[in-house]
Structure 1
Amino acid sequence: MVNGEADDTRSRILREAAVLFASRGYERVSTRDIATACGIKQPSLYWYFDSKRTIMAELIGMDLRRVGEVIAWLSKAEVSPAARLFRFLHIDVASLSDDSYNLVGIYDTNVLEHEDFAHLDKSVQKIYRFYRAVLRAGVREGQFVDLPLPVLREFLIGIDMHAGRLARTVNLPRSANLPRDFATLALRGVLADPGTIEEVSADALALEMPPKVADVLGRSATPG
């Protein structure tokens, strides 16, 4: 098998597995299911991955690397906490909506709590620390409503995940801009003064994305 064909098959396995994980949940999917969805025999799948755990671990790793690069950039961005959070949600919703791999299932099934992926916990905690730091700064500066940080965090994460799921299950009008719409909705829910949302979104979307981050995301540095 030539390298190009092997890469195509490997990508197809990841893509079909992601769809199955999202629709059925990690525990209810077998390597046989994945092989059938790919149109290959189960033994052939093992030439690329030795288990469904390895497949899911690669999908999770892909997403965590993406999020990690975005967080590293935005954590140092010289904008308000609200603008930082808006841009993060905008990027994340866009990635969950447009990525060739349906990564919603990684979070929708609480798979990150599975013992098979305990070794990835440090990377997951970076995401929670980012939310905590941005929300704490926003509350301190009076930009965000003064509610318990876990409440604000879970509210935002819930909207983020729902947006990605919605984009893959509902036929939206061409005029819809899901990343912008959901980031706006989320920020309106936590801003102390929702009337500042236009200023916040303008500041967020004016941020110039570093080439390294754009490369990881596989898109233009200019937000849509």
Structure 2
Amino acid sequence: METVDTRQEILIQASRLFKKLGYRATTTREIAKAVNIKQPSLFHHFPNKKAIVEEIFSLSLNEAAVRIEEACRRDGPASERLHQYLVWDLSTLHRMPMAMSAIYTGDALKSEEFAELAAKLKAFYHSLEDLISQGIDSGEFVEIDPMLGRLIVASMTIAHLEYAEEVTVTDPDRIAREGADLILRAFRREQN
């Protein structure tokens, strides 16, 4: 008999296989085997492999997109808004049991079948660039191309994901604050 956590276990094992083999090379048969269920049971939870990726992606990006847009609209120093967002995001990602780095760096989002997900990620990146631009315009951040700033944040986020996949993180809030502090130190203009 399957447990209530079978759906989550599918997400966890699929994400690990996507990281190890890539999206295209991973089969639903391999995912079912990793979860120790039969392939028809896998299809009871997800109609196909694409739906698994969509679920993993939505778990990490849907709320993040809302929060970064809210950070762009709130009043107050851009540095504080970016820092608060990053602490929340990194802490949340450290708590996820899936191998999230494979979703963002692997072959899935490069495929035409995930054009809608890629568009959501692009919109998220646009909001992040907007918040960085606000910090530049207010004089809080060094002059940097906002796209490069976004790539720096994304690289640090991927580093956090990979770290969480290799090490048991006992205090995700502390690790998240340390990461957010490091990113903000890179962006802040020197105060005389």
TM-score normalised per structure 2: 0.88
The answer for the alignment partner of 1:187 in structure 2 is 184
Which residues of 2 match residues 121-160 of structure 1 at below 5 A? 121-160=118-157
- Shift, 1:7, TM fit: 4.2
The structure-2 alpha-carbon separation of the partners of 1:175 and 1:106, relative to structure 1 and needing over 3 Å to count, comes to: closer
1:79 aligns with 2:76: yes
Normalised to the residue count of structure 1, the TM-score between the two structures is 0.76
Please tell me whether the aligned partners of residues 96 and 102 of structure 1 are also in contact (alpha carbons under 8 angstroms).
Answer: no
For each residue in 1:172-209, what CA deviation from the matched residue of structure 2 results, as whole angstroms up to 9, or x when unmatched?
6869921011111111111112x69xxxxxxxxxxxxx
Q: Distance in 2 between matches of 1:134 and 1:175?
A: 24
| Native 8 Å contact 1:15 1:102 kept in 2 | yes
Matched, 1:52 2:49: yes
Unaligned runs of 5+ in 1: 197-224
SS for the counterpart of 1:50 is: coil
Give the secondary structure class of the aligned counterpart of 2:151.
helix
Q: Which moved more, 1:30-39 or 1:94-103?
A: 94-103
SS at match of 2:45: coil
Q: Taking every aligned residue pair, what percent have the same amino acid on both sides?
A: 28
Aligned to 1:114: 111
RMSD: 2.4
Unaligned runs of 5+ in 2: none
Task: Tell me the residue number matched to 1:99.
Answer: 96
Larger mean CA deviation between 163-172 and 133-142 belongs to: 163-172
